[in-house]
Amino acid sequence: MEAATRAPAAVDIAGTIERVRALAQSRVAPLAARIDREGHYPADVLRALGEAGAFRQHLASQSGTGQADLLGAIQSMAAVSAECLSTGFMTWCQDACGWYLECSDNPWPREHLLPKLAAGERLGGTGLSNPMKHYSQIEALRLAAVETPEGFLVNGTLPWVSNLGPGHLFGTIFSVAGRGSPRDVMALVDCAEPGVSLRPCPPFMAMDGTGTYAVQFENVMIPRERVLADPVGPYLQTIRGGFILLQAGMAAGLVSSCIQLMREVEPLLGHVNDFCDDGPDALEAELADALSEVGTLCHAPLDPSPEFFREVLEVRLVAGELSLRAAQSAMLHQGARGYLMSSPAQRKVRESYFVAIVTPALKHLRKELDRLARAA
């Protein structure tokens, strides 16, 4: 059993975002191309971001202020994403994993694992893509478990889980048959657990260094102390808002860096870029509007109501669409120089599709919003 880690040291909260931004510029930016194209997984940088406080702002028990500052976490994630969306995405993975533990009624993972996740000492991800699609009637749940006196024996394969590596943690959901009533249960999985194997994915079009694997479960024993919610239903309704709201950090960082790329060429190309569809001023205003909406929703992220969830999904949809437009516009503003493989503009274009495709994808958001509107 792992020893309880110390309570978080007094943290300079106000300085977190600035520290994270400085790290993003000094350590993330130089690695961006390698992470993007060579599949380099920046474990050291992630640990350093954790040390700087990037993974604890949204966790009231770890933030040092007793408050959950989701918007702060989003701003830190944005600073990272502006330099490298892969690292921004892994920041989100880590944030989401901590969020699951923070919101769980089970004290064990909260006491024994959360402090390490919040500090970046242990890295973690989220295996909720498949379950989220399952609950939107898009695909079947891929993990199934049999209940035993000690816990759950899990089998199946979970595709596309990110920010993984030996000893990393992630939260996921499996269906349970056997003893008791059939139900879905959420638990924390340790990649080092016997029976868990990580199979590398084929190369991606961007963001290759995100530690993304297909996770195979062969008779994996999940002890009860690792269970986050049983049954998962009501818990899922409280965590889903924060899970999706935090993704705004990826979009905000990507969009602001695209605006920066447009501004960069303005002195030279402003006279012709005036004829582009989305200029930097317009995009900046849109980003500010979306972020102010996100900020409002961050005040009560655990609201389980469908109306709150609709608002969250809507602003996520807006952020996804804005990411696509901003990257496209950055490319068109930069013109030929953006087309060079050495230019960040072309990388932003590839990265922007990730914001639109990562769960919940734009089409998934629209399907869910359609369902919620018709049910209201």
Partner 1 sequence: MAAARWVCRACGIVYDEAKGDPDSGIAPGTRFEDIPEDWRCPVCGVGKADFMPMPEAPVRTAAPCAAPRGRGIVVVGAGTAGWAFARAVRERDPDVPVTLVTACDGDVYHKPLLSVSVAKGKRREDLVQAGGAAKARELGVRLVCRAVALRIDAVRRRLVTTRGTIAYRDLVVATGSRPRRLPLEGDAAGEVIAVNDLEGYARLASVAKRGRRVAILGAGLVGCELAANLAEAGVGVLLVDCAAGPLAGQVAPEAAAALASRLAALGIATRWSSRARTLRREGAGLSLGFDDGTEERVDAVVGATGLEPAARLVAKAGLADASGIPVETGSLRTSDPHVYAIGECASARGVRYGYIEPIVAQAEACAAILTGGEAAFEPEPPLVRLKMPALPMAWGRVAGAASPLAWRTAGGVPGEACYEAGEHGKLEAFVLTGALADRAGEWQARLAR
Smallest gap from residue 327 Cβ to partner 1 (A): 16
Nearer of residues 215 and 319 to partner 1, judged by Cβ: 319
Nearer of residues 69 and 278 to partner 1, judged by Cβ: 278
Nearest residue to 310 via CA among 359, 244, 357, 247: 244
The answer to whether 265 contacts partner 1 (rule: CB under 8 A) is yes
Sole window of 10-18, 168-176, 217-225, 316-324 interacting with partner 1 (rule: CB under 8 A): 316-324
The answer to whether 270 contacts partner 1 (rule: CB under 8 A) is yes
Sole window of 96-104, 178-186, 211-219, 365-373 interacting with partner 1 (rule: CB under 8 A): 365-373
Q: Which of 314, 328, 332, 361 binds partner 1 (CB under 8 A)?
A: 314
The answer to whether 112 contacts partner 1 (rule: CB under 8 A) is no
Smallest gap from residue 333 Cβ to partner 1 (A): 11
Sole window of 26-34, 159-167, 202-210, 366-374 interacting with partner 1 (rule: CB under 8 A): 366-374
Output the six-digit token pair for 86: 């892969």
| The dihedral sign for the CA sequence 29, 30, 36, 39 | negative
Nearest residue to 200 via CA among 160, 167, 172: 160
Residue ranges in 272-301 that form contacts with partner 1 under rule CB under 8 A: 274-275, 279, 282, 285-286, 289
Smallest gap from residue 314 Cβ to partner 1 (A): 5
H or E element: which one contains 34? helix 32-38
Phi and psi at residue 167, to the nearest 5°: 80, 0
Q: Which of 337, 350, 353, 361 binds partner 1 (CB under 8 A)?
A: 337
Smallest gap from residue 141 Cβ to partner 1 (A): 25
Sole window of 125-133, 155-163, 196-204, 264-272 interacting with partner 1 (rule: CB under 8 A): 264-272
Nearer of residues 10 and 341 to partner 1, judged by Cβ: 341
Q: Which of 48, 68, 317, 331 binds partner 1 (CB under 8 A)?
A: 317
Nearest residue to 152 via CA among 241, 54, 228, 101: 228
DSSP-assigned beta bridge partners for residue 216: 157, 197
Q: Is residue 84 within 8 Å of residue 32, measured between CB atoms? A: yes
Phi and psi at residue 138, to the nearest 5°: -100, -40
The answer to whether 332 contacts partner 1 (rule: CB under 8 A) is no
Q: Is residue 131 within 8 Å of residue 183, measured between CB atoms? A: no
Residue ranges in 182-241 that form contacts with partner 1 under rule CB under 8 A: none
Counting residues that bind partner 1 (by CB under 8 A) gives 30
Nearer of residues 44 and 289 to partner 1, judged by Cβ: 289
**DSSP symbols for 221-265:** EEEGGGEEESS-HHHHHHHHHHHHHHTHHHHHHHHHHHHHHHHHT
Nearer of residues 169 and 356 to partner 1, judged by Cβ: 356
Unique residue bearing structure tokens 């202020």: 65
What is the Rg, in whole angstroms, of the alpha carbon atoms belonging to the chain?
Answer: 20
Rounded alpha-carbon distances, angstroms, from residue 335 to 42, 253, 348: 31, 21, 14
Q: What is the distance between the alpha carbons of residues 196 and 222, in angstroms, rounded to a whole number?
A: 11
Residues of this chain that interact with partner 1 (CB under 8 A) are 265-268, 270-271, 274-275, 279, 282, 285-286, 289, 314, 317-318, 321, 334-337, 340, 342, 366-367, 369-370, 373-374, 376
